[in-house]
Chain A
Amino acid sequence: MYFAGIDVGSTMTKAVLTNEGGELLSAVKGPTGPEHRRLANEVMRGALEQAGLQIDDISYIVATGYGRVNVPFADRQVTELSCHARGVFSLFPGVKTAIDIGGQDVKCMKINGGRLIGFVMNDKCAAGTGRFLEATAATLGIRLEDMGDIASKATKRVQISNLCTIFAQQEVVALLSRGEPLENIVAGLHIALASRVAALAQRLVIEPDLALTGGVAMNTGMVRAMRESLGRDVLVPEEPLLTGALGAAIIANEAYREAAEDGTLPTGTRRLEEATFFAEEDL
């Protein structure tokens, strides 16, 4: 039996396939864009191809992420907080606290045996999220994925005083015009974001092990800054972007077993082929 988790995030959509034993068979990522359904379809197709499977081979599919309602071939939608908790626990069984920094939100979670027992999220503002780095990287004319390497060459960290993303962009321009080296500015941006996230996380009582997930965890500069701001080690998965989708696949496996016991297994044909953003039945 095979299970799928699909995570439609604000920036990236991810699909993961596992077998009955929880072994990862394939994983595909792609930018979300405005047409959730089309991309959910595409990443799912990619994941199936990578694993050499057909859609009908999949016993249960769980969709998560803020676009989860736009995955018509999913059997169930589960909130991303629950999926992240389950996913990160499967990777680090000792995890008690996890921080997921995504494109438009940051989630700080307390986890007990894979269950979510508390959480806080950013409110009303993108300043503590990946969008902060994305916007400032664009202002600096550098690629997001290069920020970590650039920051590693810093001789000092410039203090970025504005928490607001828009004002921080202006501040960065002013720093550049003063001749501040790029690497010092980037290092400053990392520590500014990390401090904000750490302040949010500390509303929960942080207990080790602590894991950092989400796209921002792929940035080595941010991982360094988070360790420094929190004053403790952080664990980072090899594929931090896939944690939610992985958790969704694990929940799919559990949900299948429960449904099989209750006699409530989903029936009918999956709508992988027909599913497009402009499907006639949705008009």
Chain B
Amino acid sequence: MTAQDKEKRAINRLESMRPLRAKVNETYLKSVEAIQSGKPAVWGMLNFYYGDPILKAMDIEVVYPENYGAIAAAMGVAQQYLDRADAEGFPTHLCGYSLTTLGYASRMMKELGGEIPPEAPLGGMPKPLFLMSSAAICDARYKWFQALGRYMDAPVWTLEAPTPGVKEFFMEGYYDAMVTLGVKHLRDFVAFVETMVGRKMDWDRLDRITNLMIEVNRVWHEVNELRKVKPCPMHSRDFWSAMPAALFLAGDLEDSLRLYQDMYREVKARVDSGIGAVPEEKYRLVFAELPPWHSLAFFDKLAERGWSFVVESFGYRPPIPIDPDVMAVSDPLERITRFSLQFFAGYYEDARQQKVLGGAFAYPYLKYAREWKCDGAMLHPLISCRSASTHLPYVADMLMEKLKVPSLSIEGDIVDLRLFNTEDALARAEPFEETMDHYRMVRQQEGLDW
């Protein structure tokens, strides 16, 4: 057996993942076609289901610089944009995604007069009509877009977002106030988009798209629930390949729904037949934060050791399904707002009751490790992303204290491959197995059931 064959078989990838992954490529190509045929295209920030359905209902093609940064990294072309951002004077400790796309924007606007750089992967991101940023999670998410907007000479709309995970979030009337405010913001956003494109919103279309968005994410949630089974039928690599269609609403939603249903069937068939994504699953792990996109083969090497990544960070997973009563709400803007809030708040009530501080980011890992029966956690603090990193030591402490699940922390970055050393990371994997073996025994002694 050649090394190549071995690598291919290290992770048993899902066939149903492939058309979902292809939807991402399709999205970028469609945005370029849209611009060429005079249709508007927008650069959007990951907004957790808040602004996307509005743009989709207005038939606007959206590309996501955050996602594009990951693509550029995975396709090995990010470095030149990072270098260019460096030359433009942006500090190297800024978010790797932001630096990649700021470098891209600089090259496109200052060097090529608005033309898409010829080396840009997937046809590139065309000049946008406007940019839609989001205030959720961290300041980089709107300051970055303001900087991009200046390069592109295009207006920037910032979607407001709640600040969950703080105790004020549970004050009487707070949730309803958030809904009221959210709906108002969306109404303002619709008016802004109508002005920009010179057309009125098709409210019936928005109604359908909203319901489809919620249903796509419900099915995607059910797929991931199946991964609790041993051996785990689906690896995190398939999760990351398939997630953009649900997270960014990439491509046609009816098509996405069908594809996620196909994926559910394939994963369920594996569950029924006892087929694992890693043929000899020895260790089940939760992966915290985004992976090193430039070095995904790293996970194949770990799979050869029997490591199966069975669950990932909550920030990229579909929300816990929403109360069915919400579907009866007639105003689609309110349904959108409640669904987006569900992403932020879905775990917090449970976290608060269990007195887990920092519940917003840390609590989901406790839930995952317990329900997906994880032997360990691999934490990937991202040197250029504070939001994704600062809570991880706390996560490690909580997992050990409450569940006796050890963590392995490997520093790296989502884009900058200079910050991730595959060999060094693999060298730590072997001794970590000794640690996982020890705590498997400790959990049994303490009456935990895995």
Query: Which residues on A sit within 8 Å (CB–CB) of B406?
Result: 117-118
Binds B, one of A22-30, A88-96, A120-128, A171-179: A120-128
A-B contact count (CB 8 A): 37
Q: Is B393 an interface residue (CB 8 A)?
A: yes
Query: Which residues on A sit within 8 Å (CB–CB) of B428?
Result: 81, 119, 121
Asked whether A79 lies within 8 Å of B427 as measured between CB atoms, the reply is yes
Q: Mark A108-122, 1 if CB is under 8 A from B, else 0.
A: 000010011111110
Asked whether A115 lies within 8 Å of B409 as measured between CB atoms, the reply is no
Asked whether B411 lies within 8 Å of A112 as measured between CB atoms, the reply is no
Asked whether B411 lies within 8 Å of A124 as measured between CB atoms, the reply is yes
Asked whether A79 lies within 8 Å of B430 as measured between CB atoms, the reply is yes
Q: Which of A79, A112, A120, A124 contacts B438 (CB 8 A)?
A: A112
Please classify how large the interface on chain B is, using the bins under 10, 10 to 19, 20 to 34, 35 or more. Answer: 10 to 19
How far does the Cβ of B361 sit from chain A's closest Cβ, in whole Å?
19
Query: Which residues on A sit within 8 Å (CB–CB) of B368?
Result: none
Asked whether A117 lies within 8 Å of B393 as measured between CB atoms, the reply is no
Measured in the bound complex, the distance between the Cα atoms of B406 and A112 in whole Å is 14
List residues 434-450 of chain B with CB under 8 A from any CB of chain A.
Answer: 434-435, 438-439
How far does the Cβ of A51 sit from chain B's closest Cβ, in whole Å?
29
Measured in the bound complex, the distance between the Cα atoms of B198 and A38 in whole Å is 75
Asked whether B427 lies within 8 Å of A116 as measured between CB atoms, the reply is no
Q: Which of A116, A123, A124 contacts B434 (CB 8 A)?
A: A116
Query: Which residues on B sit within 8 Å (CB–CB) of A66?
Result: 427
Q: Is A82 an interface residue (CB 8 A)?
A: yes
Asked whether A82 lies within 8 Å of B411 as measured between CB atoms, the reply is no
Asked whether A81 lies within 8 Å of B438 as measured between CB atoms, the reply is no
How far does the Cβ of B405 sit from chain A's closest Cβ, in whole Å?
12
Q: Is B118 an interface residue (CB 8 A)?
A: no
Asked whether B431 lies within 8 Å of A203 as measured between CB atoms, the reply is no
Query: Which residues on B sit within 8 Å (CB–CB) of A203?
Result: 393
Query: Which residues on A sit within 8 Å (CB–CB) of B383?
Result: 124
Q: Which of B410, B421, B435 contacts A118 (CB 8 A)?
A: B435
A115-B393 contact, Cβ under 8 Å, with A79-B427, A82-B431, A124-B411 = no
Query: Which residues on A sit within 8 Å (CB–CB) of B411?
Result: 123-124
Measured in the bound complex, the distance between the Cα atoms of B409 and A156 in whole Å is 37
Q: Mark B388-431, 1 if CB is under 8 A from A, else 0.
A: 00000100000000000010011100000001010000011011
Residue of B nearest to A117 (CB): B438
- The secondary structure that dominates the B interface is helix
A82-B434 contact, Cβ under 8 Å, with A66-B427, A117-B439, A203-B393 = yes
Asked whether B435 lies within 8 Å of A117 as measured between CB atoms, the reply is yes
Q: Which of B409, B421, B427, B434 contacts A120 (CB 8 A)?
A: B409
A116-B393 contact, Cβ under 8 Å, with A121-B428, A123-B411, A124-B419 = no
A116-B439 contact, Cβ under 8 Å, with A123-B411, A203-B393 = no
Q: Mark A127-151, 1 if CB is under 8 A from B, else 0.
A: 0000000000000000000000000
Query: Which residues on B sit within 8 Å (CB–CB) of A117?
Result: 406, 434-435, 438-439
Query: Which residues on A sit within 8 Å (CB–CB) of B421?
Result: 124
A116-B435 contact, Cβ under 8 Å, with A123-B411, A203-B393 = yes
How far does the Cβ of B202 sit from chain A's closest Cβ, in whole Å?
51
Query: Which residues on B sit within 8 Å (CB–CB) of A81?
Result: 428, 431, 434
List residues 48-82 of chain A with CB under 8 A from any CB of chain B.
Answer: 66, 79, 81-82
Measured in the bound complex, the distance between the Cα atoms of B436 and A119 in whole Å is 12
Asked whether A116 lies within 8 Å of B431 as measured between CB atoms, the reply is yes
Query: Which residues on B sit within 8 Å (CB–CB) of A119?
Result: 428, 431-432, 435
Measured in the bound complex, the distance between the Cα atoms of B393 and A116 in whole Å is 20
Q: Mark B370-397, 1 if CB is under 8 A from A, else 0.
A: 0000000000000100000000010000
Measured in the bound complex, the distance between the Cα atoms of B439 and A116 in whole Å is 11
Measured in the bound complex, the distance between the Cα atoms of B139 and A137 in whole Å is 43
Residue of A nearest to B439 (CB): A117
How far does the Cβ of B161 sit from chain A's closest Cβ, in whole Å?
32
Measured in the bound complex, the distance between the Cα atoms of B439 and A81 in whole Å is 17
Q: Which of B393, B410, B431, B439 contacts A79 (CB 8 A)?
A: B431
How far does the Cβ of A75 sit from chain B's closest Cβ, in whole Å?
17
How far does the Cβ of B384 sit from chain A's closest Cβ, in whole Å?
13
Asked whether A115 lies within 8 Å of B434 as measured between CB atoms, the reply is yes
How far does the Cβ of A197 sit from chain B's closest Cβ, in whole Å?
17
Query: Which residues on A sit within 8 Å (CB–CB) of B427?
Result: 66, 79
Residue of B nearest to A120 (CB): B409
How far does the Cβ of B415 sit from chain A's closest Cβ, in whole Å?
16
Measured in the bound complex, the distance between the Cα atoms of B427 and A121 in whole Å is 11
Residue of B nearest to A121 (CB): B428
How far does the Cβ of A2 sit from chain B's closest Cβ, in whole Å?
26
Residue of A nearest to B429 (CB): A79
Measured in the bound complex, the distance between the Cα atoms of B406 and A120 in whole Å is 12
Asked whether A115 lies within 8 Å of B438 as measured between CB atoms, the reply is yes
Measured in the bound complex, the distance between the Cα atoms of B428 and A79 in whole Å is 8
Measured in the bound complex, the distance between the Cα atoms of B428 and A112 in whole Å is 18
Instruction: Indicate the member of B411, B430, B432, B435 with the most A CB atoms within 10 Å.
Output: B435
Measured in the bound complex, the distance between the Cα atoms of B438 and A66 in whole Å is 24
How far does the Cβ of A201 sit from chain B's closest Cβ, in whole Å?
14
Query: Which residues on B sit within 8 Å (CB–CB) of A82?
Result: 430-431, 434
Residue of A nearest to B442 (CB): A117
Query: Which residues on B sit within 8 Å (CB–CB) of A123?
Result: 410-411
Measured in the bound complex, the distance between the Cα atoms of B406 and A116 in whole Å is 12
Measured in the bound complex, the distance between the Cα atoms of B344 and A274 in whole Å is 63
Measured in the bound complex, the distance between the Cα atoms of B432 and A116 in whole Å is 8
How far does the Cβ of B43 sit from chain A's closest Cβ, in whole Å?
32
Residue of B nearest to A109 (CB): B431
How far does the Cβ of B416 sit from chain A's closest Cβ, in whole Å?
11
Extra contacts, 6 of them, besides A119-B431, A121-B428, A124-B383 (Cβ < 8 A), are A79-B430, A116-B431, A117-B406, A117-B439, A123-B410, A124-B419
> Could you pull out 18 A-B pairs where Cβ atoms are within 8 angstroms?
A66-B427, A79-B427, A79-B431, A81-B428, A81-B434, A82-B431, A115-B438, A116-B431, A116-B435, A117-B435, A117-B438, A119-B428, A119-B431, A119-B432, A120-B409, A123-B410, A124-B383, A203-B393
Query: A-B pairs with the 5 shortest C-beta distances?
Result: A81-B431, A123-B411, A79-B430, A117-B438, A79-B431
> Which residues does A use to contact B, with CB under 8 Å?
66, 79, 81-82, 112, 115-121, 123-124, 203
